[in-house]
Structure formats: structure tokens, C-alpha cells
Amino acid sequence: MKRLAIAAVLISLAATTVAQSGTSTNWTGQNVNNKNYISTGMPILLIAPDAVSSGMGDVGAASAPDLYSAHWNNAKLAFVDGNMGVGLTYTPWLRNLKVGDMNLFYLSGYYRINKNSTAAAGLTYFTLGDIDNTDEDGQTLQTIHPNEFAFDLTYALKITDQLSLGASGRFIRSDLTNGAVISSSGEHTSTHAANSLAADIGLYYQGEIDKTQDFALGLHISNLGAKLSYEDDDTKKEFLPSNLRIGGRYTNRIDEYNKISVLVDANKLLVPTRPYTRDGVTYETRYAKNLAEYNNIGVIAGAFQSFADAPGGFSEEMQEIQLSGGVEYWYAETFAARAGYFFEHENKGGRQYATVGVGLRYNIFKFDLSYLIPTTKISTNPLAHTIRIGLMIEMSPEKK
């Protein structure tokens, strides 16, 4: 039996995977356990949805263009090889915590309009299974089915033979309570689903070093959109997980059958830091001395402020940058082996894990699998044994 009172904790746990060395924030946004983690609404939007990039440490800004490019860098879709494709990825979530009914699904597809432009659509769906809403005496009031989803449309265009631009629009819905009334300390709060609209923009450049070597660079800004509100009180809103991703790739085609790529990404949340209290001391930010001021920060202003508002100054700002790197090996464009590593500073979440993955290609069918290995010293790490399974069907242009 699960209670609605822990639903929000599970959401945060599921999306940030709380390999955060014990890091969390409470309902008022105050810091707990001596960490200064930046919380957002619907952080599931940042979780790797596919089994390709997740096998390489969650890199994707400049990885090879594929069906899943809309999540990592929408501009890459202009260079995708096929004419059309569709794929589905399934991720059972938090199985190491013995949670058996939380799952993440990602359905995506693309269609090449002409040699310079491609359109795509994607659906991210996250379910928390069944949760019992109970009163303060522990009596079940109702069973709810929390879920979140995001639907996006993307258009990518080649500006030159090496450079492309991508743009996406996204509808977001986060329904954690099914409209239930939450009771706590004698107070009753009416809730509702939170809806929002967001946009992504990306740039991608790929070039050749020589006949056997090439490289790529990518930049992607995602989830810039209206704040999420779960209550009638409009002052209590959550920023979307707006994110800046910059990355690069180097590929060496060793011979006719063997190819290897090395990739690296850097991520930065475009979300302002909350003021918080620790050990009776209030830590103010450059732009907000209390939560009332923080809640009044606009989305665009908050994105710019996020580069210079950490209470610890420049050193703390640098801690907010997440790093990931990966390697991918292909044999005869049929079998792929992948490995990677993801690093997040312990004061900003503490997620640190290695990943491995494989890929198989046969005709129009493509299968990918990834596996996550946490490296933080936590006895029961919720990240452990996380797998992703992906199946793709892709129609390639006829060879002449």
C-alpha cells in the first residue's frame, strides 16, 4: 500500500534517481542534508529516454543522427540517413527499490520531407502505477494513477551541407494527484494536473577531417516554457527543467568494417537557484532573498540568472555543470558496443554512474539495450540495474 503523501517524493526520486548522496529538498524549497540541489517540476523530461545514448553515459548533443535525436539535439534530424522511421523504448523504473509498477515509455518517429528537411514527433509517458490517497488516520480515500507525459513536434533544416537548425514545440502534462485533496497537519489542499507549453532549439555541425575521420559539434536548449502549477495558489509554481547541452563527437572509420566514436557532453540547468535555510542560516541568492522573490522570477530571466546566482559564487556555478562521455564501436554497421560515464557533483545531485550497451541492426530492424551501473557509495542505490530496451524500424533510401 502506497500513500499519496509520498507521491511527490517518488516523482523526484524517479526522475533524479536520488543517487544524490542523500540530497533532497522539502516542500518549501529549503535545502536538506547540506546540499544545494536545484529542483524543478517534471524532471523526467531530462531522463535519457532511449537505449542508444543511455549506453554511452547519456551523451547526445553531437552523437550520430538517429530516430531519438529530437530529445538530445533536434537539429541532428536534418542529417538522419533514413527516409522515415519509428521506434519505442521501454524503461522499468526504480526496480532496485522493489517498485514494480513505475515505467517510462518513449515513442518517436520521423519523416524526411526532402533532402534538406525532416519532421519528427515524440511522446514521453511516465507512470507511477497505483498510489493510495489516505487520510491522517491511514484510511484509504481513493486510489489514484499518477502519470506524466509530453508530446512534441520537431522540424529540422539543413542550412548548409555541414550545418543544421532544429526547432521543437512541446505540450506537457503532469498529473500527480488526479485532482485529489491532500491533507497535512489539519490543512486541506486542492490539487489539479499541471499543464505547460515549451520549446527547444538546436544547432548541429558535422565535418570531415579526412576520408576516414570526421567530427561533429552540437548545442541544444530544451524545455523553455511556462512554469507548472499543481495548486490553485498561483504563487506556488515549479520551473520546467530547462537545460543547455553542448557536446562533440570524433569518429574514426578504421577500415571497411570497423568504426569507433568518442563523445562528450556538458549540461547546465537553466533554472535559478532557490534561497534556502540550513542550520538556522538563510542562504540568499543574487536575485532572490526569499521564496516570494524566487517565485516571481520569469522563465527567460531565470535562464540568464542561472549562470550567476549560486550562493557559493563561481565555484558553485561550476558544480552545476554535469559531464558525460562515451565510446561507441560498430562492426560492419551490424553490431555496436557502447560504454560511458555520467558525473554530477555531489552538492548538485550526486548522480555518478557508468553505462554499457549493445546494438543490433538487421535489414530495417534495429534493437538496442543499455544497462546502468551506479558508482556512488550508497547501500541501496535506486539507479542500480536500470535497463532500457529499444526497438526501431527505419526505412533507408534506396542505394543506386
Which of 9-41 are b and which e, b meaning 16 or more Cβ less than 10 Å from the residue's Cβ?
A: ebbbbbbbbbbbbebbbeeebebeeebbbbbbb
Greater confidence (214 vs 237) lies with: 214
Residue 136 confidence (pLDDT): 62
- 13 is written with which cell numbers? 526520486
pLDDT of the residue at 311: 85
- Residue 277 to residues 164, 281, 311, Cα–Cα distance (Å): 45, 5, 12
Do 238 and 299 meet the contact criterion of CB atoms below 8 Å apart?
no
> Quick one: DSSP state of residue 68?
T
pLDDT value at residue 102: 86
Predicted pLDDT at 220: 98
Q: For residue 321, which of 384, 266, 376 has the smallest C-alpha distance?
A: 266
Q: Which residue has the cell 538546436?
A: 202
pLDDT exceeds 50 at position 96:
yes
This prediction's pTM: 0.88
Of 27-41, 47-61, 165-179, least confident by mean pLDDT is 27-41
Mean pLDDT of 57-71: 96
State yes or no: pLDDT of 332 exceeds 50.
Answer: yes
State the pairing for strand pair 228-229/237-238.
antiparallel
Checking if the pLDDT of 354 tops 70, the result is: yes
Distance CA 376, CA 388 (A): 20
Residues 85, 366 contacting (CB under 8 angstroms): no
Higher per-residue pLDDT: 141 or 244: 244
Is the distance from CB of 83 to CB of 397 less than 8 angstroms? yes
pLDDT of residue 335: 97
Distances (CA, A) of 156 to 49, 58, 75, 202: 20, 22, 5, 9
Contacts (Cβ under 8 Å, ≥6 apart) of 294: 29, 272, 274, 275, 285, 288
- Going by pLDDT thresholds of 50, 70 and 90, the confidence category of residue 262 is very high
- What pLDDT is stored for residue 58 in this prediction? 96
Nearest to 333 by CA among 357, 358, 356, 360: 360
C-alpha cell at 152: 512534441
Q: How many helices, marked H, and strands, marked E, lie in the chain?
A: 5, 24
